[in-house]
């Protein structure tokens, strides 16, 4: 008896994916991705109203890094014109201090110099948090070190503290301008 291959229902896959993410099951998410691949589809083939970018955003907000990485590796776009919260995916991963996810987003081509509603870049936030490993990543990807936040503060000034000496040195070595006036 030959098995008959029935076309996969996109709507059903969308529902399965939402449920898998909600249950925080990377195994179930991988099963949905595998089912897509068996049908020569990717997450980007899901309906236009099904915003995979928002799913990825929710995964990062909820610190579901493993699932976020699965979505990224299956082609969910990292840059989106969809309006959303004030922080980009890179900002959120930086705030969560998820080094692997920050690296993956940068490797996938996320816009590195994006500013949130406070004018802060992901590099600025990494410096603010004092996370040396995350600061290294945008520097390695040629982030603009001299982008000021809305209050005119700069990453170099945030790093001028005894507990952030290593970050201060990294910023100087990578071209931070110490002559820019800060209005703080």
- Domain with residue 145: its CATH number is 1.25.40.20
Same domain, yes or no, for 90 and 77? no
Mean pLDDT in residue range 165-178:
94
Asked if the model's pLDDT at residue 73 lies above 60, the reply is: yes
**Mean pLDDT, the chain, whole residue set:** 84
Q: Report the pLDDT value the prediction gives residue 4, as an integer from 0 to 100.
A: 46
Mean pLDDT in residue range 29-50:
74
Q: Report the pLDDT value the prediction gives residue 45, as an integer from 0 to 100.
A: 66
Same domain, yes or no, for 113 and 140? yes
CA distance 23 to 29: 10
Cα torsion angle, 103, 107, 112, 114, sign: negative
Q: Report the pLDDT value the prediction gives residue 3, as an integer from 0 to 100.
A: 46
CA distance 122 to 92: 8
The interaxial angle of helices 52-61 and 10-22, nearest 10 deg, is 10
Mean pLDDT in residue range 115-123:
94
Q: Which residue has the higher pLDDT, 21 or 184?
A: 21
The percent of the chain in helix, strand and coil, each rounded to the nearest 5, is 55, 0, 45
Mean pLDDT in residue range 110-122:
94
Same domain, yes or no, for 73 and 91? no
Mean pLDDT in residue range 104-127:
95
Six-digit token string for 123: 């590099």
Total domain count, the chain? 2
Six-digit token string for 110: 């996320």
Boundary residue ending a domain (46, 81, 116): 81
Boundary residue ending a domain (39, 58, 81): 81
Same domain, yes or no, for 24 and 43? yes
Same domain, yes or no, for 22 and 48? yes
Same domain, yes or no, for 60 and 147? no
User: How many C-beta neighbours within 10 Å does residue 122 have?
Assistant: 31
Phi, psi values for residue 112, rounded to 5°: -80, -25
Q: Which residue has the higher pLDDT, 150 or 12?
A: 150
Q: How confident is the model at residue 1 (pLDDT cuts 50, 70, 90)?
A: very low
Q: Which residue has the higher pLDDT, 93 or 29?
A: 93
Q: How confident is the model at residue 34 (pLDDT cuts 50, 70, 90)?
A: confident
Asked if the model's pLDDT at residue 156 lies above 50, the reply is: yes
Same domain, yes or no, for 55 and 100? no
CA distance 61 to 41: 26
Same domain, yes or no, for 58 and 139? no
Same domain, yes or no, for 90 and 177? yes
Boundary residue ending a domain (60, 81, 102): 81
Same domain, yes or no, for 89 and 158? yes
**By CB neighbour count within 10 A (0-12 exposed, 13-18 middle, 19+ buried), where does 33 fall?**
buried
Same domain, yes or no, for 101 and 162? yes
Domain span at residue 134 reads 85-184
Same domain, yes or no, for 64 and 112? no
Mean pLDDT in residue range 25-50:
75
């Amino acid at each position: 008896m030959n098995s008959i291959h029935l076309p996969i229902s996109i709507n059903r896959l969308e529902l399965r994916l939402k449920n898998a993410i909600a249950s925080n099951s990377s195994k179930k998410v991988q099963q949905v991705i595998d089912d897509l691949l068996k049908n020569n589809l990717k997450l980007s083939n899901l309906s236009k109203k099904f915003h995979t970018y928002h799913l990825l955003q929710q995964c990062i907000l909820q610190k579901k890094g493993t699932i976020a990485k699965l979505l990224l590796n299956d082609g969910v776009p990292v840059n989106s014109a969809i309006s959303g919260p004030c922080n980009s995916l890179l900002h959120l991963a930086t705030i969560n201090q998820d080094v692997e996810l920050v690296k993956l987003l940068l490797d996938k081509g996320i816009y590195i110099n994006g500013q949130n509603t406070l004018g802060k870049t992901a590099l600025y936030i990494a410096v603010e948090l004092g996370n040396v490993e995350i600061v290294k990543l945008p520097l390695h990807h040629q982030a603009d070190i001299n982008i000021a936040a809305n209050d005119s503060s700069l990453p170099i000034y945030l790093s001028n503290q005894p507990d952030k000496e290593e970050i201060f040195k990294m910023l100087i070595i990578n071209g931070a301008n110490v002559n820019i006036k800060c209005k703080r």
